[in-house]
Chains A and B, each alone.
Chain A
Amino acid sequence: MVKIVSKKPNSLKEKIFHYCPGCGHSIVHRLVAEVFDELDIRGIAIGVPPAGCAVLAYNYFDIDMVEAPHGRATAMAAAIKRVLPDRMVFSYQGDGDLAAIGIAESLHAANRGDNITVIFINNAVYGMTGGQMAPTTLLNQRTTTSPAGRHKTLDGYPLKVSEIFSQLQGTTYIERCAVSSPATVNKTKKAIKKAFQCQKDGLGFSLVEILSACPTNWKMNSIDSVQWIDDVLCKEYPPGVFKDETAARKLAEASS
């Protein structure tokens, strides 16, 4: 009797990830795909990847996907969901895509309470373009456009997406996680599953922010990178549930 202990999720294609060694995208892709399998929503899922390293996500996810111009994924996802309310619609965005060029689209989709899920990868840097300063870059963090380190009076401060979005009345579920160890990876999967369950139950906007390693642009090896997430990144961006109105909204729905 053969017992399967691990297998490729059905929601992933038979493709080798192009991501750099140690990059968090591969882990998060897999987690999202596992959640799709477990919730049995692969056939009704529609995804919108970002401009950025995950722009090629449709090469890996075995679900329907449509590309968006840089930053506009939530605008497209919200529209798709309005047209097809019974499908599971999500955007997958990096910090430049969501928190810089697409902050307006993301914030307003959240504020409208569009019933979509946002998977938000925060690696404190622009990855695909070669390691420039992102809105999430830490103070004094060196990047190719902040070679002397991010300067608070010249470059501003790290943008706290989960904190900001949890203040919006339209949002239902906001959690920040990390993919830096088996324990945090498991926690991240639970958060992703809860976010999609929130959408499935029709409860409104959900966002999971995931602190994710970019060894190439951090100029670190993979082990140091995950250590840096735990020791440094998590100090500026503390993981946790910032908002969970799923139970309250469910109750309100049941009683209305």
Chain B
Amino acid sequence: MNKTLMSGNHVIGEASIRAGCHFYAGYPITPQNELTEYMSEHMRSNEGRVFIQAESEISAINMIAGAAAAGARVMTSSSSPGMSLKQEGISSMAACELPGVIVNIMRGGPGLGNIRPAQGDYFQATRGGGHGDYRTIVLAPATCQELADLTMDAFDFADKYRTPVMILADGMMGQMMEPVIFKKPTPRQYPEKFMLRGAGTGKSKFIRALLLDPIDAEEHNWKLARKYEVITKNETLCEEYNVEDADMVIVAYGTSARIAKGAIKRLRDNGMKVGLFRPITLWPFPEQKLRALSAKIKNFFVFELSTGQMLDDVRLALQGYAHIDFHGRPGGAVPTPAELTNVIARVYNKND
């Protein structure tokens, strides 16, 4: 198989097209514009596929909701401020059980913030983000190869569980170039009964989440909750790196995990036994696997490009069984592996 050198944003676009994305709507925002541009060029050259540059992120998310209801494989993308606007539609898609892929190439926040890589949208992504009791599956790739693989997987997750799936990356992931191999996508399995195609001569259908009777609405909420339990049980993904002999484990995802790996090499060169636990699904969070590590490892070090958000999930997973240190760089500041090495070395020696 041929390796292709591509930027992260283009990788997501190409992987989505290969996975059969039929409808894409987006709105310009840095640092994800290359993805929207890629889709504009490659969707319209594919017979029957639809690209719309929407008038806002709100419109874009509701367009993909409509297209999903009509039975299409759908995707939209944005960056942090735009994701805030999309929350209405994400809540609606989760409630109406419409499948779709939503890409967030995170940048510095809050507010307009800046266009540098950041991880400040972890809470928004993993806690539902919009109103009401719902969750979205959140995938956090750390390489361009993973962007390719997880983008394809995201469509399958969305169909399998009839729910919106988010790819949570950042400006670094979107802009960097790496060689990738595109795997063969699995054929789509999505029953026609969930699509609105016109009633024909048969019974008409409707898709809705307005349930004025609170007992009906409660049952719908529990139905969604049961689905999320199944996802939590079956679909957690993570990577463990150099944990076998480690006496300290860094917990980091996406770009921070890449920086952490660089730091681990330097720390080990200096005799410090440090490993990495990298959640690939942020929701569901791989808490069982992380807790299992705490049986023999008593020091964890959470590193995020935020003031500490995944930190909460690490605390919940470890339940006080291990000591946790934290280092955060919010607002678009990205430390080098050498800088992170110095921070971790100080903590390592203090805990030792």
A residues apposed to B, CB below 8 Å: 42-46, 48, 55-56, 58, 61-69, 72, 75-80, 82-84, 87-88, 104-105, 107-108, 112
Q: How far is the CB of A28 from chain B (nearest CB, A)?
A: 19
Are B67 and A64 interface neighbours, CB within 8 A?
no
Kindly identify which residue among A67, A79, A107, A108 contacts B208, using a CB–CB cutoff of 8 Å.
A67
Q: Which stretch from B6-14, B52-60, B104-112 is at the chain A interface?
A: B52-60
B92 contacts the other chain (CB 8 A): yes
Q: How far is the CB of B216 from chain A (nearest CB, A)?
A: 13
| Chain A residues within 8 Å of B89, by CB | 69, 72
Quick one: given A43-B201, A69-B89, A104-B59, are A83 and B96 in contact (CB under 8 Å)? no
Q: Which stretch from B68-76, B172-180, B235-243 is at the chain A interface?
A: B68-76
Kindly identify which residue among B66, B72, B92 contacts A48, using a CB–CB cutoff of 8 Å.
B66
In chain B between 52 and 102, which residues have their CB closer than 8 angstroms to a CB of chain A?
52, 54-56, 58-59, 62-67, 69-72, 88-89, 92, 96
Bound CA span A83–B204, Å: 19
| Chain A residues within 8 Å of B92, by CB | 67-69
Bound CA span A115–B196, Å: 18
Q: How far is the CB of A64 from chain B (nearest CB, A)?
A: 4
| Chain B residues within 8 Å of A43, by CB | 198-201
Kindly identify which residue among A42, A83, A108 contacts B67, using a CB–CB cutoff of 8 Å.
A83
Are A79 and B198 interface neighbours, CB within 8 A?
no
Closest 9 CB pairs of A and B: A76-B66, A79-B66, A58-B206, A72-B62, A79-B63, A108-B55, A75-B62, A67-B208, A83-B70
Are A65 and B204 interface neighbours, CB within 8 A?
yes
Are B206 and A79 interface neighbours, CB within 8 A?
no
| Chain B residues within 8 Å of A108, by CB | 54-55, 59
Q: Which of A42, A48, A68, A82 has the most CB of B within 10 A?
A: A82
Are B59 and A75 interface neighbours, CB within 8 A?
yes
Q: Which of A46, A58, A62, A83 has the most CB of B within 10 A?
A: A83
B22 contacts the other chain (CB 8 A): yes
- Besides A44-B200, A66-B96, A84-B197, 16 other A-B contacts (C-beta < 8 A): A45-B199, A64-B199, A65-B196, A67-B208, A68-B92, A69-B88, A72-B65, A72-B88, A76-B65, A76-B69, A78-B52, A79-B62, A83-B70, A105-B58, A108-B54, A108-B55
Across the two chains, which residue of chain A brings its CB closest to B206?
A58
Bound CA span A79–B68, Å: 9
| Chain B residues within 8 Å of A77, by CB | 66
19 residue pairs bridging A and B, Cβ less than 8 Å apart: A43-B200, A44-B198, A55-B210, A58-B208, A65-B208, A66-B207, A67-B96, A67-B207, A67-B209, A67-B210, A72-B65, A75-B63, A79-B63, A79-B65, A80-B66, A83-B22, A83-B50, A104-B55, A112-B52
Q: How far is the CB of A248 from chain B (nearest CB, A)?
A: 26
B276 contacts the other chain (CB 8 A): no
Quick one: given A67-B207, A104-B56, A105-B62, are A83 and B199 in contact (CB under 8 Å)? no
Quick one: given A58-B208, A105-B59, are A83 and B198 in contact (CB under 8 Å)? no
| Chain B residues within 8 Å of A67, by CB | 92, 96, 206-210
Are A82 and B199 interface neighbours, CB within 8 A?
no
| Chain B residues within 8 Å of A69, by CB | 62, 88-89, 92
Q: How far is the CB of A228 from chain B (nearest CB, A)?
A: 30
Q: Which of A75, A78, A84 has the most CB of B within 10 A?
A: A75
User: What total of chain B residues lie within 8 Å of the partner, measured CB to CB?
Assistant: 37
Bound CA span A42–B55, Å: 31
Across the two chains, which residue of chain A brings its CB closest to B51?
A82
Across the two chains, which residue of chain B brings its CB closest to A44?
B198
Kindly identify which residue among A64, A80, A104 contacts B204, using a CB–CB cutoff of 8 Å.
A64
| Chain B residues within 8 Å of A76, by CB | 62-63, 65-66, 69
B223 contacts the other chain (CB 8 A): no
Q: How far is the CB of A188 from chain B (nearest CB, A)?
A: 24
Are A79 and B52 interface neighbours, CB within 8 A?
yes
| Chain B residues within 8 Å of A107, by CB | 55
Across the two chains, which residue of chain A brings its CB closest to B93?
A69
In chain B between 167 and 206, which residues have their CB closer than 8 angstroms to a CB of chain A?
196-201, 204-206
B122 contacts the other chain (CB 8 A): no
In chain B between 20 and 67, which residues have their CB closer than 8 angstroms to a CB of chain A?
22-23, 25, 50, 52, 54-56, 58-59, 62-67
Are A82 and B210 interface neighbours, CB within 8 A?
no
Quick one: given A69-B88, A69-B89, are A61 and B52 in contact (CB under 8 Å)? no
Kindly identify which residue among A42, A62, A64 contacts B196, using a CB–CB cutoff of 8 Å.
A64
| Chain B residues within 8 Å of A48, by CB | 66
Are A46 and B207 interface neighbours, CB within 8 A?
no
Q: How far is the CB of A96 from chain B (nearest CB, A)?
A: 16
Bound CA span A223–B151, Å: 59
| Chain B residues within 8 Å of A42, by CB | 199
Q: Which of A61, A69, A87, A112 has the most CB of B within 10 A?
A: A69
Are A79 and B25 interface neighbours, CB within 8 A?
yes
Bound CA span A45–B206, Å: 12
Across the two chains, which residue of chain B brings its CB closest to A87?
B198
Are B67 and A79 interface neighbours, CB within 8 A?
yes
Across the two chains, which residue of chain B brings its CB closest to A107?
B55
Bound CA span A159–B171, Å: 41
Bound CA span A64–B199, Å: 6
Across the two chains, which residue of chain A brings its CB closest to B22?
A83
Across the two chains, which residue of chain A brings its CB closest to B212?
A56
| Chain A residues within 8 Å of B207, by CB | 65-67
Kindly identify which residue among A66, A72, A78, A112 contacts B206, using a CB–CB cutoff of 8 Å.
A66
Are B67 and A63 interface neighbours, CB within 8 A?
no
